[in-house]
Structure 1
Amino acid sequence: MELTDGRTVVVKEGAGVAAEAAGLRWLAVPKGPPVPAVLALAGARLVTEHVPPGRPSATAAAEFGRRLAALHAEGAPAFGAGPPETPVDAWIGRAPMRNVPSGPEWAPWYAEHRVTPYLRTARDSGDLTGAETALIERVCDRLPELAGPAEPPARLHGDLWSGNVLWSTDAAWVIDPAAHGGHRETDLAMLALFGCPHLDEVLAAYDDAARLAPGWRDRVALHQLFPLLVHVVLFGRGYAGQTVAAARATLDGC
């Protein structure tokens, strides 16, 4: 929308805009990826800064990797903690998501609050079979041994698929967060899920800035289980095969 003063802004309406605004503010950290400024929030309407479009480049991708590492390093009070002064009930896309602060270990929280709720919904709707559900439940049972070395809670974007990375004239911006405290590998796995431009440059620069734990590439499928299950819930059985494949890859890789 163009305002009378000549500015171009983005106007969004919906139940999740308050959580989105809180997430954008929480992600706006020094040296982190640029995020659109929140200009107004009134009821179910959010107005944000417009990001001028540009083209992806290897240079911008490397800078994005470094800035994403800086964002994650800002941390969170706990796994599952949402932005300050936000309710437990939040959103990821059009799916409900609960930000429930948990204990010091990532694996139990991820199983209980990121995999199991969507797994149950997909099973109950018939979008996952009993056998497919049992396979993913095996992943949850073995999560402590599959999770890799312990990590502190990172400040996550939380829905960092490639469509939520906007390439401007000189940088990669992030939009539409489902922000919470989580494992930093989750944001990186979501970038890989649907094909982020110049992903190798992003990951290499990230790893140079904040070394990733050994075996992180083997855990990509584990971290993709959450967004894939969300897609099954939102869009149906068309995503079931990819979700089951991620579960099998996780178990086969351990």
Structure 2
Amino acid sequence: MVSADALLTPNVMRTIEAAVTKHLGSGWRCEDSVDLADRSSHPAALLHGGALSVFAKLIDGAGAIDQATAELSGLALIRNRSGAATPVPVGDGFVQLGERAVVLFEALAEHPPEQRTARDWEAIGRTLANLHQVRGDVYGLDQDGYFGPLHQDNRPVAANSWADFYADRRLLPWLATAVDAGHVPPDLAGRVEQIAGRLDELVGPDLGPRLLHGDAQHHNFISTADGAVVIDASPYYGHPELDLALVDYFTPVPGALFAAYTEISPIDAGFEDRRELWRLFAYLGVLTCDGASPFGRAFVRRLEAAVALYT
């Protein structure tokens, strides 16, 4: 877990308070905060003050400004092309502190994941299905994004096939980063490469490019009285099954989510057999970033089990 301590320093808080004051047109001060360490890969908190509560997230390190910009443009793309609800940015959506960026949104009155009702889960399913109704001409996107802290290359591939895009833009690049980090044994890496070479026969029906959330694990939706709100998206045009595979990537979700999804869009019967195929790149992403930690090391076993299904 990443504590919000780095976000709550006096210097950062002064900058946030100035940005919110400008956004509101009247003075605003943070009176209380709630650490969101259990729900974010960056220092994040809810900041409460007077007429407005604010969600704040600190992005640090090389590329922080790029990450903040990509997050905001990705949410705008999803909102404009699908009509899905996204949070209201505070001002420009982020403030810059040297090489760091603090992303700022107006906070939402939410039902936390542990308090979600069947209706909340259904709203997530329908929101995801509606995203997937938006069609594109090519797999990928004309702008790159981030999957957590990892740069996500969205350039289209020459063949414009999902198998080639998944291999060349997701599976093989993140296999290389996980190997370079020393967290994937050579024999296991070789078996992932074998799968990449067989994707044409493994990927199932080609539905054509559809708009994806890109990091659709269920914590990346906020449940409100008005429905589901999309957050932390990294969109591009791809195969809807990738999003569906990530929904319950970390923790199980009720069947109501998938049932509501199918009210709008069918799920191919072969998806269950392909679920782990779409998770391979995400396992490699976790191993790249966290493979030295107890949390990350557990993903070697998950990767091994997934690879065994397709080799």
Q: TM-score normalized by structure 2?
A: 0.73
1:111 is matched with 167
Distance change >3 Å, CA 93–CA 219, structure 1 → 2:
same
Contact between 1:40 and 1:46, CA under 8 Å: does it hold in 2? no
Q: CA deviation at 1:75?
A: 2.5
1:12 paired with 2:34, answer no
Contact between 1:25 and 1:38, CA under 8 Å: does it hold in 2? no
Which one of 72, 83, 91 corresponds to residue 40 of structure 1?
91
Secondary structure in structure 1 of the residue aligned to 2:52: coil
Secondary structure in structure 2 of the residue aligned to 1:76: coil
1:26 is matched with 77
Q: CA deviation at 1:179?
A: 1.4
Secondary structure in structure 2 of the residue aligned to 1:73: coil
Secondary structure in structure 2 of the residue aligned to 1:46: strand
Q: CA deviation at 1:31?
A: 6.6
Structure 1 segments unaligned to the other structure (5+ residues): none
**Over residues 48-89 of structure 1, what are the superposed CA-to-partner deviations in whole Å (9 max), with x where a residue is unaligned?**
22121213111221232122111111133421215xxx4x4x
Contact between 1:36 and 1:50, CA under 8 Å: does it hold in 2? yes
- Name the CA distance, whole Å, in 2 between partners of 1:141 and 1:126: 23
- Name the CA distance, whole Å, in 2 between partners of 1:32 and 1:185: 21
Which one of 222, 225, 229 corresponds to residue 280 of structure 2?
225
Structure 2 segments unaligned to the other structure (5+ residues): 1-15, 21-27, 29-49
Secondary structure in structure 2 of the residue aligned to 1:96: strand
Counterpart amino acid of 1:138?
A: Q
- Name the CA distance, whole Å, in 1 between partners of 2:68 and 2:235: 12
1:58 paired with 2:139, answer no
Which one of 81, 85, 106 corresponds to residue 141 of structure 2?
81
1:246 paired with 2:297, answer no
Q: CA deviation at 1:153?
A: 1.0
Contact between 2:82 and 2:134, CA under 8 Å: does it hold in 1? no
Distance change >3 Å, CA 202–CA 250, structure 1 → 2:
farther
Distance change >3 Å, CA 202–CA 30, structure 1 → 2:
farther
Counterpart amino acid of 2:184?
A: L
Counterpart amino acid of 2:117?
A: S
Distance change >3 Å, CA 165–CA 67, structure 1 → 2:
closer
Counterpart amino acid of 1:189?
A: A
Distance change >3 Å, CA 250–CA 39, structure 1 → 2:
farther
- Name the CA distance, whole Å, in 1 between partners of 2:282 and 2:237: 16
Distance change >3 Å, CA 60–CA 174, structure 1 → 2:
same
The alignment of Structure 1 onto Structure 2 pairs a total of residues equal to 245
- Name the CA distance, whole Å, in 2 between partners of 1:81 and 1:99: 5
Mean CA deviation greater in 71-80 or 149-158: 71-80
Contact between 2:81 and 2:134, CA under 8 Å: does it hold in 1? no
Mean CA deviation greater in 4-13 or 221-230: 4-13
Secondary structure in structure 2 of the residue aligned to 1:172: strand
Contact between 2:127 and 2:228, CA under 8 Å: does it hold in 1? no
- Name the CA distance, whole Å, in 2 between partners of 1:38 and 1:76: 26
Q: TM-score normalized by structure 1?
A: 0.88
Q: CA deviation at 1:131?
A: 0.6
2:39 is matched with none
Contact between 2:140 and 2:165, CA under 8 Å: does it hold in 1? yes
Secondary structure in structure 1 of the residue aligned to 2:110: coil
Counterpart amino acid of 1:98?
A: D
Which one of 253, 261, 265 corresponds to residue 210 of structure 1?
265
- Name the CA distance, whole Å, in 1 between partners of 2:128 and 2:218: 14
Q: Which structure would you say has the larger RCO, counting Cα contacts within 8 Å and 6 or more residues apart?
A: 1
1:186 paired with 2:242, answer yes
Q: CA RMSD in A?
A: 2.1
- Name the CA distance, whole Å, in 1 between partners of 2:253 and 2:300: 25
Larger Rg: 2
**Over residues 147-168 of structure 1, what are the superposed CA-to-partner deviations in whole Å (9 max), with x where a residue is unaligned?**
0011111111111112212223
Q: CA deviation at 1:104?
A: 2.8
- Name the CA distance, whole Å, in 2 between partners of 1:75 and 1:40: 31
1:95 paired with 2:150, answer yes
Distance change >3 Å, CA 69–CA 37, structure 1 → 2:
same
